[in-house]
Amino acid sequence: MTVRRALAWASAGKLLSFTIAFASSIVVARWFLTPAEVGMFSIAFAATVLIATLQEFGVNRYIVGEVELGPEKLHTAFSVSLTVAWGVALLILVAAKPLAWLYGDMTLFPLMLVIGASYLFVPLSIVPTALRQREMDFRSDFLIEVSVALTNAAVTVTLAAMGKGAMALAWGALAQQVARAGVSQWRSGWMFPWPLRFTGAAHVIRFGRSSTLLLMFDSIGNRAPDLIIGGIAGTHAIGLYSRASGLAVQLVLLLTGAVNSVFYPALAQLRNEGKPLGAPYLRLVAGYTGIVWPALAGLAVAAYPLVAALYGERWIEVAPLLALLALAEMIFVALPLSVQVPILLGRLDGVLKRTGAATALAVALLFLGARFGTLTAASAYVVYAVCWLLIYIRFLQRLTDFAWRDLFAEYGRSLIGTLAAVTPLLACYRWQVPATAMSFWQLLPPIVAGIALWLATLFVVRHPIAPDIRQFAAAIVAQIGRRRLLRAARS
What's the alpha-carbon Rg for the chain, to the nearest Å? 23
Average pLDDT over residues 160-168: 86
- The proportion of the chain whose per-residue pLDDT surpasses 90, expressed as a percent, equals 22
CA distance 237 to 317: 9
Q: For 268-320, how does the pLDDT look when each residue is reduced to its tens digit (9 = 90+)?
A: 666 666 666 778 888 888 888 999 999 999 999 999 999 988 888 888 999 99
Residue 234, pLDDT score: 78
Taking the domains of the chain in order of start, what are their residue ranges?
1-199, 238-491
Q: Give the DSSP H or E segment for 466.
A: helix 466-490
**Whether the bond into 195 is cis, omega within 30 of 0:** yes
Confidence of residue 232 (pLDDT cuts 50, 70, 90): confident
Q: For 341-386, how does the pLDDT look when each residue is reduced to its tens digit (9 = 90+)?
A: 887 777 878 888 888 888 889 889 988 998 888 899 999 999 999 9
CA distance 102 to 109: 11
Residue 35, pLDDT score: 82
Does the pLDDT at position 440 exceed 90? no
Average pLDDT over residues 392-418: 92
Q: For 10-59, how does the pLDDT look when each residue is reduced to its tens digit (9 = 90+)?
A: 667 777 877 888 788 888 888 888 888 888 777 777 767 666 565 555 56
Distances (CA, A) of 416 to 40, 136, 419, 453, 463: 41, 34, 5, 11, 10
Residue 404, pLDDT score: 92
Q: For 69-110, how does the pLDDT look when each residue is reduced to its tens digit (9 = 90+)?
A: 666 666 777 777 777 778 877 887 888 888 788 777 788 888
Nearest to 214 by CA among 358, 74, 345: 358
CA distance 107 to 454: 48
**Higher pLDDT, residue 119 or 268:** 119
**Higher pLDDT, residue 474 or 281:** 281
Structure letter (DSSP) for residue 380: H
Which range, 3-7, 119-123, 427-431, is most confident?
A: 427-431
Structure letter (DSSP) for residue 315: G
Long-range contacts of residues 345-352, Cβ cutoff 8 Å, at least 24 apart: 345/271, 345/277, 345/399, 347/395, 347/399, 348/210, 348/211, 348/214, 349/210, 350/395, 351/214, 352/210, 352/213, 352/214, 352/217
Does the pLDDT at position 422 exceed 90? yes
Confidence of residue 490 (pLDDT cuts 50, 70, 90): low
CA distance 395 to 489: 59
CA distance 478 to 386: 44
SS percent in the chain: helix, strand, coil, step 5 = 85, 0, 15
By mean pLDDT, which of 52-56, 197-201, 375-379, 451-455 is the weakest?
52-56
> What φ, ψ does residue 61 adopt, rounded to 5°?
-65, -35
Burial class of residue 303, CB neighbours in 10 A (0-12, 13-18, 19+): buried
Does the pLDDT at position 265 exceed 70? no
Long-range contacts of residues 199-208, Cβ cutoff 8 Å, at least 24 apart: 199/72, 199/76, 200/72, 200/73, 200/76, 201/76, 201/79, 201/80, 204/59, 204/62, 204/73, 204/76, 204/77, 204/80, 205/80, 207/58, 207/61, 207/62, 208/57, 208/58, 208/59, 208/62, 208/80, 208/84
455 Cβ neighbours under 8 A, 6+ residues apart: 469
Mean pLDDT value across the chain? 80
CA distance 45 to 50: 9
Taking CA 15 as the corner, what is the angle to CA 344 and CA 34, rounded to the nearest 5 degrees? 105
pTM flag (> 0.85): no
Residue 445, pLDDT score: 93
Residue 273, pLDDT score: 60
Does the pLDDT at position 400 exceed 80? yes
Residue 263, pLDDT score: 58
Residue 236, pLDDT score: 83
CA distance 491 to 244: 51
